[in-house]
Amino acid sequence: MINEAILLESRTLREGVAERTDVLDRVKALSLLPDGMHVTTAMVAVYFQVGVKAIESLVLDHREELEASGYRVLTGAQLTSFKEVCQIPSRSRALALYARRTVLNVAMLLRDSEVARQVRTYLLDMEYVARTQPVDNSVHSPLSDPLTDLDDRIDQRITHILGKAVVPMFNALIETSGDHRKELISLRDDVQRVKRKLCLHHARLQRLEAPREDRPLAGVMAAMDAMSGFEFEDHVATLLRRDGCTDVVVRGGHGDRGVDITGRTADGRSLVVQCKRLSPFQSITSPDVQKFLGSAKVLHKAEIALYVATCSFTREALLIAAEGGVTAVHRGLLEAWSAGTELPVL
């Protein structure tokens, strides 16, 4: 198997796997510009969770290689035309653009990024599997394995039964039991842990095994970035219902008393949600969280409060959320939730 250190040093090896851009979305969804083909320096920095200067420095050191993989800088008439097509309000006289191949190239060069390291690891694992996989000459559908499909259906069925029947049964027993209350609570917690593990297992299988043709090029987050505010609220409501929440109502801004969605968790706790569909480069600030905290805990007296956003939270906002009992569902957590991972608080 190719060593990660060798990949960092060998341009020949990097060029050999340059077409495997699908690993970018498998590790973390890459949002693209409206042209569906490019990202800016700032977007690359957000994807790899590093500063813009780190990306600019990398380009300076490896410009020839990156240009070969699709990097270019627009100026003049080309820049004006591109801004009009993509509706970019920037007043800059130059705009650096990265193709998906270029972003993968950056991942194979960027040393001080955990996301880049994950991309390299995933890329090398896939290459190893592809090189060592025995040839199967049997006649069967390449998209379906009966045994895998059966296991998948069994896992989903077990998850459904645990969430809809077993956990509610334990809740009822706990309410009426006296002597064995602690034992029943412990058993219920064990059942919920098994259910969460099954959901995580199913989500990982979907991400690893889903054919590329069935997934949007820019990933699940790009699809959410293209939604309107109302569409995003409906999407979050769908996720809540998927995870067993009941009485889920989208308030839609009419008499919502500071929240967008109300409902109850599978075990009956009251739930309120604030939804913010913002640019990935924006952040939820501490005043935003404080305002929602007052509505959620004072006006609605909610037991569970979710602040769901398509962007990040500032450090202060995260601290206030943690202190006030608000679950901050940031862009990365939202991506995992949308892909099938349950929120532990639910």
Question: Torsions phi, psi of 107, nearest 5?
Answer: -60, -30
pLDDT at 123: 78
Range in 15-19, 169-173, 294-298 the model is least confident about: 169-173
What is d(CA 21, CA 108) in angstroms, rounded to the nearest whole number? Answer: 11
The CA distance from 113 to 90, in Å, is 27
Asked if residue 98 has pLDDT above 90, the reply is: yes
312 Cβ contact partners less than 8 Å away, ≥ 6 residues apart: 280, 283, 284, 330, 331
Lowest mean pLDDT among 3-7, 23-27, 292-296: 3-7
- Banded model confidence at residue 275, pLDDT cuts 50, 70, 90: very high
- Give me the helices (H) in the chain, please: 4-9, 11-16, 22-27, 41-48, 52-68, 76-86, 100-107, 114-132, 146-161, 167-176, 181-209, 219-225, 229-242, 286-294, 315-324, 331-338
Residue 151: the pLDDT is 47
| CATH 3.40.1350.10 applies to domain 219-338 | yes
Q: What is the pLDDT of residues 8-61, one digit of tens each?
A: 888 888 888 888 888 888 788 888 887 778 899 999 999 999 999 999 999 999
Can you give the pLDDT at residue 180?
A: 73
Return the pLDDT at 290: 92
Give the model's confidence band at 146: pLDDT under 50 very low, under 70 low, under 90 confident, else very high. very low
Provide mean pLDDT across the span 117-134: 68
pTM of the shown model: 0.42
How far apart are the C-alpha atoms of 345 and 169, rounded to whole Å? 19
In the chain, domain spans: 4-132, 145-191, 219-338
How far apart are the C-alpha atoms of 121 and 72, rounded to whole Å? 27
Q: What are phi and psi of 109, to 5 degrees?
A: -115, -25
* Under 8 Å between Cβ of 310 and 280: yes
Q: What is d(CA 235, CA 275) in angstroms, rounded to the nearest whole number?
A: 10
- Please state, in angstroms and rounded to a whole number, the distance separating the CA atoms of residues 274 and 259: 5
Asked whether residue 218 carries a pLDDT value surpassing 50, the answer given is: no
Q: What is the mean pLDDT of the chain?
A: 79
The share of the chain scoring above pLDDT 70, in percent, equals 76
What is the model's pLDDT at position 253? Answer: 59
The predicted structure's pLDDT at residue 139: 42
What's the pLDDT score for residue 90? 65
Note the pLDDT of residue 214: 41
pLDDT value at position 130?
A: 54
User: What token pair was written down for 176?
Assistant: 């009426």
The residue that leads in pLDDT, 334 or 165, is 334
Backbone phi, then psi, for 128, in 5-degree steps? -65, -45
Closest CA to 306 of 244, 247, 263, 253: 263
